Amino acid sequence: MSIDINLAGLDLKSPIILASGILGVSYSSMKRIIDAGAGAVTSKSIGPTPRKGYKNPSIIEIYPKTFMNAVGLGNPGIDDFIPEIKEIKEEGITLIVSVFGDKNETYLEVAQKAIKGGADAIEINISCPHAEVSSIGIDKDLTHDIVSMLKKEISVPLFVKLNPNVTNLGEIALAAEKGGADGVVAINTIAALAIDVNTRSPILAHGSGGLSGKAIHPIAVKKVYDLYKLLKIPIIGCGGIFEWKDAIEFFLVGASAIQVGTSLYQGPEVISEINKGMIRYLKDNEFKSINDIKGLAHEFKTQEVPDFD
Amino acid sequence: MTENTIQTVKIKRIINECEGVKSFVFSRQSSITPKPGQFVMIWVPGVDEVPMSISSYNERGEWSITVKNVGECTNALHELTIGEYIGVRGPLGNFFEIPQDKNKKIFLIGGGIGMVPLRFLASELIKSGFKFITIEGAKVENDLIFMDEFFDLQREGSEFNYCTDDGSYGEKGFATEIFENALKDLESDELKNIVVYTCGPEIMMHKLLQICNEHGIELYASLERIMRCGCGLCGLCAIDPNGSLVCKDGPIFSSDLLRKMDDFGKHKRDFSGKKISQ
C-alpha cells in the first residue's frame, strides 16, 4: 500500500500538503507538520514587502470546525522570509512558496527570490477573496497572462490556487492550464460575512472574510469533480479535510494530492491520522496505490434528467 | 478543552486595581470551566481583539480579566462602561498544573501585570488546600496590584512578598533577587521540592529559568506572543526551534521545554510574522 505520489515532478511520501496561510510563517512549525507525516508544506502567501494585514478579529471559528478569516495577506515580505526557507531546506523538506504581488512583475520578483532561496515549487495566490489581488483570479485572460509569463521565467513547478468566488471556475482553470500551470489548487476560501447580533457589527475587522473548514468540504469536492472533467493537469484538492474519508473523497473525484489547513487547529496529529486512514482504506479495498483510486467516482453514471412521473 | 467562537457579553462590573489597571467582570455561557493560566481573546468591537489572561472565575459563572492600559485596544477597553459589550473567545490554551503533592514548596513569582494569571492560580491553590509563597515585583508602589486581596489571603497561611525597582514599597530590587535570597541556606532536597510558577516580563522569567536550572528547580512560565487565531492556525506565536505554539501548546511551558527554546527571552514575531527582538 503506497501513498507516495509524484506531483508535477515532486516526489512526496504522502499526498498531504500543508495549505497556504496555516502555520506557514516559521520553519519550526512547518517542520512539525512534516514530522506529523505531510509530504510537503506551502508557506503563507509572501509578498514583496512586510505587511501587517488586517487587525483582529481576523481568524474565528463560527460553527464547530468551520472558520472565517480575513488576514489581509499579512506577511514578513520575501527578504525576511528567505532565512525561514533556508532553514526548511536544511531539513530536506519539500517547500512550496505561496506568492502574491500587486502586479505580474511583482509576482515574478518574489517567486524568483523564493526559488533562489531554495523553494521547490511556487503556488500563486490569485484568489484571496478579501484582498485586492483577487482581481486576477476572477478573470481568465489575466490568469492566463500571469501564468504564461511566470512559466517563461521560472523552472520549478507552478501551481495556481483557484478562487471559488467566480461564475465559471472551469474557464479560469483552463486558462491556467493553457498558460502552462503544472497544477491547480481547488479551492481557496469562500467569501462570507458574520454579524454579531448584540453589537450589530461585522465580527471580522475587515467585515467580510473567507470561509474554510467543514462547511466548505462538499463545495470543494464538487469543484474538483467538475474540474477533473476539464483539465489534464493535476488538481490539488483543498477544503475542509478533517479525516481520512474527506481525503479519499477528493481522490475519488479526481484530485492528485490534497491540502490540509483549518483542521490543524486540532493539532498536527490530524495529518498522521489521515495518512493512517488512507493506507487502511487502500488495504481494505485492495488498491496498491493512492494513484489507483483517482477519479473513480466518475465511473458512476449520475442521473442527468429527472424522472417526470 | 478550548472554545474558539466569539460570544459578546456585557461588562457586569469594573474594578480599578491601580493607576492604569482595571478588572472587567462578565458572565460567559460556556460548557468549559476556565483554569488558571488559560487566556481569552477579548474583542473590543470596532477596535481590535487581543489575548488576555483570565484573572478569576467563580461558581456563579463570572469571569474576569485584568488589563493594563498599554495600547490602542486596551485603551479602548478602559473607556468602556458597565453594560457595554465585549467579545470573548475562550478559554484558550493550556493551564498551570497544580501539584499532586501537598508538601511541595510553591512559589508564585510575578512581575507587574504578570500577576494576573498568578492571582487566579493563588485562589485555586487555596481552594485545594495549598500554602505558597508569592513574590510580586513592580517598577513602583503604584504598579502593585491585588494587595488588598492578598492581605486577606495571608490568614490562610500563605506568604506574600513585595518588591519595587525603586524601593517605594517592599524590598528594593527585582523579584528574581528576592527569590535567589530565599534559596540561600536550603539543602538540595529542599530545593528539589520547590515548584515555581511565573508570569511577567520575559527577561525576568528567563533569569528565573537560569536560577532554577542551577538549583534543579521545576519552573512553569506563562509566555506572551502576538497572535491572530489563539487556536493554532496563524503561526505567529510559534517558538523556534521546536515550533511550540504559545496559543495552543502554551501559554504555560515547563522548564524542560523552555530550556529548548532559543527564542525564549530573545525573539518574538510582529503582526506581519517578522521575527523581532524582545
Q: Which run of H or E residues covers position A259? A: strand A257-260
Locate the chain A residue with the closest alpha carbon to B238. Answer: A29
What are B94-107's pLDDT values in tens digits? 999 999 998 999 99
Residue B156 has a pLDDT of 78
Residue A130 has a pLDDT of 53
Query: Is the pLDDT assigned to residue B241 strictly greater than 80?
Result: yes
CA quadruple A116, A118, A120, A122: dihedral sign: negative
B153 & B229 share domain: yes
As a whole number, the mean pLDDT across chain A is 95
Instruction: Write the Ramachandran bin of B270: left for phi over 0, alpha for psi from -120 to 50, otherwise beta.
Output: beta
Residue A221 has a pLDDT of 98
Q: What CATH code is carried by the domain that includes residue B269?
A: 3.40.50.80
* HEC profile of A165-193: CCCCHHHHHHHHHHHCCCEEEECCCEEEC
pLDDT band at A137 (very low <50, low <70, confident <90, very high): confident
Position with higher pLDDT, A222 vs B149: A222
Query: Is the pLDDT assigned to residue A247 strictly greater than 60?
Result: yes
Mean pLDDT of A252-261: 98
Mean pLDDT of A144-166: 96
Q: Is B1 part of any domain? A: no
Residue B171 has a pLDDT of 94
Total count of domains within chain B: 2
B205 & B266 share domain: yes
Q: What CATH code is carried by the domain that includes residue B78?
A: 2.40.30.10
Question: Are the Cβ atoms of B235 and A25 closer than 8 angstroms?
Answer: yes
Strands A257-260 and A235-238, bridge-based pairing: parallel
Residue A190 Cα to chain centre, angstroms: 13
B223 & B127 share domain: yes
**Can you list the domains of chain A with their CATH numbers?**
5-52+74-189+212-299 (3.20.20.70)
B111 & B168 share domain: yes
**What are B's interface residues with A at a Cβ cutoff of 8 A?**
4-6, 8, 41, 43, 45-50, 85, 87, 89, 228-229, 231-236, 238-243, 245, 248, 269-275
What are A168-187's pLDDT values in tens digits? 999 999 999 999 999 999 99
pLDDT band at B154 (very low <50, low <70, confident <90, very high): confident
Locate the chain A residue with the closest alpha carbon to B7. Answer: A196
Give contacts of B45 with chain A, Cβ < 8 Å: 196, 199, 201
What are B201-223's pLDDT values in tens digits? 999 999 999 999 999 999 999 99
Residue B1 has a pLDDT of 52
Of B47, B35, B94, B111, give the one whose Cα is nearest residue B75.
Answer: B47
pLDDT band at A129 (very low <50, low <70, confident <90, very high): low
Interface contact A196, partner B, CB < 8 A:
yes
CB < 8 Å from B in window 94-153 of A: none
Active site residue A238: no
Mean pLDDT of A4-20: 98
What are B26-84's pLDDT values in tens digits? 999 888 999 999 999 999 999 999 999 999 999 899 999 999 999 999 999 999 999 99
Residue B38, beta-bridge partner list: none
Among B63, B92, B121, residue at a domain's last position: B92
Question: Are the Cβ atoms of A61 and B5 closer than 8 angstroms?
Answer: yes
Cell of B5: 467562537
Rounded to whole angstroms, how far apart are CA atoms A135 and B104? 62
CA distance B219 to chain A (A): 24
Distances B63 to A234, B29, B54, B235 between C-alpha atoms, Å: 51, 10, 7, 27
CA distance B183 to chain A (A): 36
Mean pLDDT of A47-66: 95
pLDDT band at A195 (very low <50, low <70, confident <90, very high): very high
Domain that holds residue B164: 105-277
Strands A195-196 and A201-202, bridge-based pairing: antiparallel
Query: pTM of the prediction?
Result: 0.95
Question: Are the Cβ atoms of A50 and B4 closer than 8 angstroms?
Answer: no
Residue B2 has a pLDDT of 62
ipTM over 0.90: yes
Rounded to whole angstroms, how far apart are CA atoms A218 and A233? 22
Size of chain A in residues: 309
Buried b (16+ CB within 10 A) or exposed e, B164-182: beeeebbbebbbbbbbbeb
Interface contact A76, partner B, CB < 8 A:
yes
* Residue B213 near residue B191, CB atoms below 8 Å: no
Q: Is B222 part of any domain? A: yes
Locate the chain B residue with the closest alpha carbon to A24. Answer: B235
Mean pLDDT of A135-151: 93
- Cis check for the bond before A57: say yes or no (omega within 30 of 0): yes
B255 & B143 share domain: yes
Catalytic residue among A128, A184, A231, A278: A128
Question: Are the Cβ atoms of B233 and A196 closer than 8 angstroms?
Answer: no
Residue B251 has a pLDDT of 98
Of A8, A12, A203, give the one whose Cα is nearest residue B44.
Answer: A203
Interface probe with B: pick from A28, A55, A98, most Cβ of B within 10 Å: A28
- Side by side, the strands of the sheet bearing A66-69 are A59-63, A66-69, A209-213, A190-192
Residue A97 has a pLDDT of 98
B123 & B243 share domain: yes
Interface contact A186, partner B, CB < 8 A:
no
Rounded to whole angstroms, how far apart are CA atoms A282 and A275? 11
Residue B34 has a pLDDT of 95
B143 & B255 share domain: yes
Q: Is B169 helix (H, G, I), strand (E, B) or coil?
A: coil
* Residue A117 near residue A147, CB atoms below 8 Å: no
